[in-house]
Structure 1
């Protein structure tokens, strides 16, 4: 089954944005058709980002503040991916 068709058939929450917003990394992960791997990947991204912000903040506060929009986006995508994974378990 082609990746796009597979993604379209997944059960997704109503607040899920359209597929074209996720870029090449998500295309690759969904190409593997492994929701658990995608969930693990985005959790690692979120954990690494939080760790980096905590480490950077004492040194250069403004750089840490610049990461807030990215943190919000990654948090949203993490919840979205975990929801998709649970709905399709």
Structure 2
């Protein structure tokens, strides 16, 4: 069964966004995520930022990129739910870690945090409905 057939056969909440909407949101968020990630990395290389501040950014990027292969490749709802919670938690960690250094980077994460909060509730709902 293809990933699309698998996903379409899952029980989902009535408020589940259309896949095109989800894709559009990520097209807006990925440039923000990548720009702030590279800014933080460059500042760490220049020694303007402690390396420990980069950890949540690295963890977040890895967890974010891992979600699609976990959800649609492995078709594992439970692992995808755990992964999205890691993404969500690491966004908060990123915002706290960078706040005293570059407030604008923390504030730039707000749309990402809002979307991943919605996506987390959606993923947890889908996981629960399809146990």
Q: TM-score, normalised by structure 1?
A: 0.88
Give the secondary-structure state (helix, strand or coil) at the position aligned to 2:104.
helix
Between the aligned partners of 2:88 and 2:12, the Cα distance in structure 1 is 21
Q: Identify which range, 12-21 or 1-10, moves more after superposition.
A: 12-21
Moved more, 14-23 or 29-38: 14-23
Displacement after TM superposition at 1:37 (Å): 0.9
Specify whether residues 4 and 65 from structure 1 end up closer, same or farther in structure 2 by C-alpha distance, changes over 3 A only: same
The 8 Å contact of residues 42 and 78 in structure 1, kept in 2 or not, is answered as yes
Q: Are 2:128 and 1:86 equivalent residues in the alignment?
A: yes
Q: Which has the larger radius of gyration?
A: 2
CA distance in 1: counterparts of 2:86 and 2:78, whole angstroms: 12
Structure showing the higher helix proportion among its residues: 2
Q: Which has the higher contact order (CA 8 A, sep 6+)?
A: 1
- SS state at 1:33 partner: coil
Distance 2:116 2:68 in 1: 16
1:49-76 CA distances to partner (integer Å, 9 max, x unpaired)? 1101011112211211111011101111
Unaligned runs of 5+ in 1: none
Whole-Å separation in 1 of the counterparts to 2:14 and 2:66: 22
Normalised by the length of structure 2, the TM-score is 0.62
Matched pairs, number:
89
- Stretches of structure 2 that go unaligned for 5 or more consecutive residues are 27-64
